[in-house]
Amino acid sequence: MDAVTNVPVPVNEPVKGYAPGSPERESLRRRIAELEGDKHELVQTIGGRKRLAGGAAFDVVQPHDHGHVLGTCAQATPEDVADAVAAAKEASPAWREMPFDERAAVFLRAADLMAGRHRDTLNAATILGQSKSVQQAEIDAACELIDFLRFNVHYARRILAEQPNSVPGTWNRMDYRPLDGFVVAITPFNFTAIAGNLPSAPALMGNTVVWKPTPTQQLAAHYTMEVFEEAGLPPGVINLVTGDGQAVSEVALADPGFGGLHFTGSTATFKFLWRRTAENLDRYASYPRIVGETGGKDFVVAHASADREKLLAGLVRGAFEYQGQKCSAASRAYLPRSLWESGLRDELADLTRTVKYGDVTDLSVFGGAVIDARAFAKHKKLLDGVEADNDLDVLVGGHCDDSVGYFVEPTVLVSGDPAHTAFATEYFGPILAVHVYDDAAYGDILELVDRTSPYALTGAVFADDRAAVQQAHQALRFAAGNFYVNDKPTGSIVSQQPFGGSRGSGTNDKAGSMFNLLRWASPRSIKETFDAPTAIGYPHMG
Ligand X SMILES: N[C@@H](CCC=O)C(=O)O
Ligand Y SMILES: NC(=O)c1ccc[n+]([C@@H]2O[C@H](COP(=O)([O-])OP(=O)(O)OC[C@H]3O[C@@H](n4cnc5c(N)ncnc54)[C@H](O)[C@@H]3O)[C@@H](O)[C@H]2O)c1
Which residue number, 418 or 491, has a Cβ lying nearer to ligand X?
A: 491
Which residue number, 104 or 122, has a Cβ lying nearer to ligand Y?
A: 122
Determine the Cα–Cα distance for residues 395 and 413; give it in Å rounded to an integer: 6
Mind giving me the DSSP string for 380-427? HHHHHHHTT-TT-EEEE---EE-SSS-EE--EEEE-S-TTSGGGTS--
> Is 519 within 8 Å of 511 (Cβ atoms)?
no
Residue 492 interacting entry, from ligand Y, ligand X, none, C-beta within 5 to 8 Å by type: ligand X
Which residue number, 70 or 248, has a Cβ lying nearer to ligand Y?
A: 248
Among candidate residues 229, 327, 400, 426, the one labeled active-site is 327
Amino acid at 437: Y
Whole-number minimum distance, CB 198 to ligand X, in Å?
12
Residue 248 interacting entry, from ligand Y, ligand X, none, C-beta within 5 to 8 Å by type: ligand Y
Distance set, CA 17 to CA 26, 322, 358, 459 (Å): 12, 17, 20, 27
Q: Which helix (H) or strand (E) holds 128?
A: helix 119-130
Residue 121 interacting entry, from ligand Y, ligand X, none, C-beta within 5 to 8 Å by type: none
Whole-number minimum distance, CB 301 to ligand Y, in Å?
20
Strands (E), 189-327: 209-212, 238-240, 258-264, 289-293, 298-302
The verdict on whether 293 is a catalytic residue reads yes
> Is 505 within 8 Å of 455 (Cβ atoms)?
yes
Residue 491 interacting entry, from ligand Y, ligand X, none, C-beta within 5 to 8 Å by type: ligand X
- Give the dihedral sign, CA 245/246/251/256: positive
**Residues lying near ligand Y in the complex (CB under 6 A):** 186-191, 194, 212, 214, 244-246, 248-249, 264-266, 269, 272, 293-296, 327, 426, 428, 457, 499-501, 505-506
Which residue number, 106 or 185, has a Cβ lying nearer to ligand Y?
A: 185
Residue 506 interacting entry, from ligand Y, ligand X, none, C-beta within 5 to 8 Å by type: ligand Y
Whole-number minimum distance, CB 194 to ligand Y, in Å?
6
Whole-number minimum distance, CB 112 to ligand X, in Å?
22
**Residues lying near ligand X in the complex (CB under 6 A):** 190-191, 326-328, 490-492, 499
Among candidate residues 13, 229, 293, 347, the one labeled active-site is 293
The CA-based angle 97-99-104, given to 5 degrees, is 120
- Give the dihedral sign, CA 445/266/375/361: positive
Whole-number minimum distance, CB 197 to ligand Y, in Å?
10
Closest CA to 38 of 62, 63, 64: 62
Q: Which residues contact 163 (CB under 8 A, 6 or more apart)?
A: 172, 173, 174
Residue 269 interacting entry, from ligand X, ligand Y, none, C-beta within 5 to 8 Å by type: ligand Y
The verdict on whether 400 is a catalytic residue reads no
Which residue number, 334 or 499, has a Cβ lying nearer to ligand Y?
A: 499
Which residue number, 72 or 495, has a Cβ lying nearer to ligand X?
A: 495
Chain-centroid distance, C-alpha 486: 23
Whole-number minimum distance, CB 212 to ligand Y, in Å?
6
DSSP-H helix ranges across 131-254: 134-137, 145-161, 192-204, 218-230, 246-251
Residues recognised as catalytic: 293, 327
